[in-house]
Structure 1
Amino acid sequence: MKTLGYYNGKFGELDEMTVPMNDRVCWFGDGVYDAGPARNYKIFAIDEHIDRFFNSARLLDMKMPVTKQELKDLLQEMVNKMDTGNLFVYYQLTRGTGIRNHVFTEGPGNLWIMLKPAEISDGMKPIKLISTEDTRFFHCNIKTLNLIPSVMAAEKAKKAGADETVFYRPGGRVTECAHSNCHIIKDGKLITAPTDNLILPGIARAHLIRMCKKLEIPVSETPYTLDEMYNADEVLVTSSSNLCLHANELDGRPVGGKAPELLEKIRAALIDEFTEATAI
């Protein structure tokens, strides 16, 4: 299979799959999702992603149609069907199917899965960032399907010739990026926004923090501002699709480049962790 989709027990190539018009995702974007990479037919950090997926559903009072182990087995079964083992593995739960009504549809939700070929960046090439005010709601810790602000921010970055958009709240506090977490290094310390309701608790973020502690690099989970990002020694961007990227430009201004040895130490360690975990 070149791509593979799943919807409530039905499998097929993505362009052959259909869903009911009355799935609540069509009317309300009523759902949650999670995703991560696979390499050599091995899904990376699968337990962490599934735990977050189930937590997102719990926070929105959604009913899973499967157990964690059943979902884990299903995802691996689908990965094994693919022509390549290097993949982006995506899954989402929508609240159910029924005539449009704001109140919840009763019963378990609908499970969607999507697989497509993908490669993890080695993080060697620097990226360009722009910033924009964070006008999203106050439940960013839940990985919902309501992604219009992120879609608009991603398009803004594309039109500006940048790779990602940094969100900031009134007062200049940096929260995260349109589809990534962001962090800074200053004076030998990693500084990353706390996991409150303004950011998604990224799996790659958690691996970054753990790796820094393993490498005896101090970590501070405290708010920081856009001005501090402009003046940081290094600017890091992490996601499940790109484990450790770094930026050399923000809003047309050069950033980072002041702690290359420390940056490389972190990047290499995270890529090695992924490579070892997904080795044949």
Structure 2
Amino acid sequence: MKNLGYYNGKIGELESMTIPMNDRVHWFGDGVYDAGPSRNYNIFALDEHVDRFFNSAALMDIVMPVTKDELKELLQKLVLMVDTGDLFVYYQVTRGTGIRNHAFTEGPGNLWVMLVPATVSDGTEPIQVITEEDKRFLYCHVKTLNLLPSVLAAEHAKRAGCKETIFYRHGGRVTECAHSNCHILKDGKLFTAPTDNMILPGIARAHLIRKCKELGIAVSETPYYLKDLMEADEILVTSSSNFCLRVDHVDGKPVGGKAPELYEKIRKAVVDEFLEATNKPVSEKAES
């Protein structure tokens, strides 16, 4: 298959898949999701993503229709059905099917999977971003399907010819981006927002922090502000689609560029981890 969709046991190319109208996702966006890259049919950091997926469901009182092991086995099986092993692996669970009612639908949720060809950026090309007030609700630590503020912010960035929108709360505290985490380098240290309910605890963020510590780079998980952002030595954006990107313009103003060697050391460490973990095709692993 060139791409793949899965819904409660039904499998097909995305263009042929249909979903019941009474799935609660249509009425309420009632569900949670997770996603990450696959290379050579290896799903990267799968345990971490599945753990976060199940945690998001538990925080929203959604009953999972599968166990963690069953989900991981299913995802690997589905990945092997696609023509290329370089994919974006997306999965979500919605709170069941029933006539529209704000109160919960009883029973297990509906499991969706989407696989599309994709590759991860190596982070060598800088990106441009805009800033925007963070108007999302206070469940940002849960990876829910309620993404309208992020959709609007992503469109605003696109119209401005930029790749991302960096959010800030009242008082100028930087939180994260429309669909990424945001960090700064200053005086040889990494500063990143704390994992409270203002940001999603990104998997790429966690890998970035671990690699910095391995490299002897101090990490401070504390709030920072727009002024700090604009005066940073470097601004980093991380996600499961793009492990480590460098920002060179914010709202049309040049930023960063003061610690290129440090950025390169971090970028290489993060990308190399992904390449090493996914270097050997799954088919070869099965034979060895």
Q: TM-score higher than 0.5 here?
A: yes
Q: Find the counterpart in structure 1 of residue 18 from structure 2.
A: 18
Task: After TM superposition, give the deviation of residue 17 of structure 1 in Å.
Answer: 0.2
Shift of 1:131: 0.2
Q: How far apart, in 1, do the equivalents of 2:242 and 2:26 lie?
A: 29
1:253 alignment partner in structure 2? 253
CA–CA distance in structure 2, aligned partners of residues 140 and 86 of structure 1: 29
Quote the RMSD (CA, aligned, Å).
0.3
SS at match of 2:131: strand
Q: Residues 1-150 of structure 1 correspond to what in structure 2 (within 5 A)? A: 1-150=1-150
Code of the residue aligned with 1:99 in structure 2: it is I
- Look up the match of 1:239: 239
Superposition deviation, residue 132 in structure 1: 0.2
Aligned to 1:220, the other structure's residue is in SS state: strand
Partner of 2:186: 186
Deviation at 1:73?
A: 0.2
Residue identity matched to 2:226 = L
Deviation at 1:90, TM superposition (A): 0.1
Give the CA deviation at 1:150.
Answer: 0.3
Q: 2 CA distance for matches of 1:166 and 1:121?
A: 19
User: Whole-Å Cα distance in 1 between the matches of residues 143 and 184 of structure 2?
Assistant: 23
How far 1:215 sits from its partner (Å)? 0.3
SS across alignment from 1:273 = helix
Q: Percent same amino acid at aligned positions? A: 73
Unaligned runs of 5+ in 2: 281-288
Q: Name the CA distance, whole Å, in 2 between partners of 1:62 and 1:91.
A: 14
Aligned mates of 2:118, 2:162 — CA distance in 1: 21
2:167 pairs with 1:167: yes
Measure, in 2, the Cα distance between the counterparts of 1:229 and 1:18.
44
Report the counterpart of residue 272 of structure 1 in structure 2: 272
Q: Structure 2 length as normaliser, TM-score?
A: 0.97
**Equivalent in the alignment of 1:155:** 155
SS of the residue aligned with 1:137? coil
Tell me the alpha carbon deviations over residues 182-231 of structure 1, each in whole angstroms, 9 at most, x when there is no partner: 00000000000000000000000000000000000000000000110000
| Partner AA of 1:208 in structure 2 | L
> Partner letter of residue 167 of structure 2?
F
How far the C-alpha of 1:242 sits from its partner, in A, is: 0.3
User: Any idea what SS the aligned residue of 2:242 has?
Assistant: coil
Q: Deviations over 1:37-65 (max 9, x none)?
A: 00000000000000000000000000000
Q: 2:227, 2:156 → 1: CA distance?
A: 21
In 1: Cα distance, 2:142 partner to 2:213 partner: 26
Alignment partner, residue 283 of structure 2: none
2:271, 2:144 → 1: CA distance? Answer: 28
User: Structure 1 residue 5: deviation in Å?
Assistant: 0.3
- For structure 1, list consecutive stretches of 5 or more residues without a partner in the other structure: none
Structure 1 residue 234, shift from structure 2 partner: 0.2
Aligned length: 280
Give the structure 2 partner of residue 225 of structure 1. 225
Q: What's the secondary structure of 1:227's corresponding residue?
A: helix
Q: Take 2:100 and 2:218, find their aligned partners in 1: how far apart are those partners? A: 51
TM-score (norm. length: structure 1): 1.00
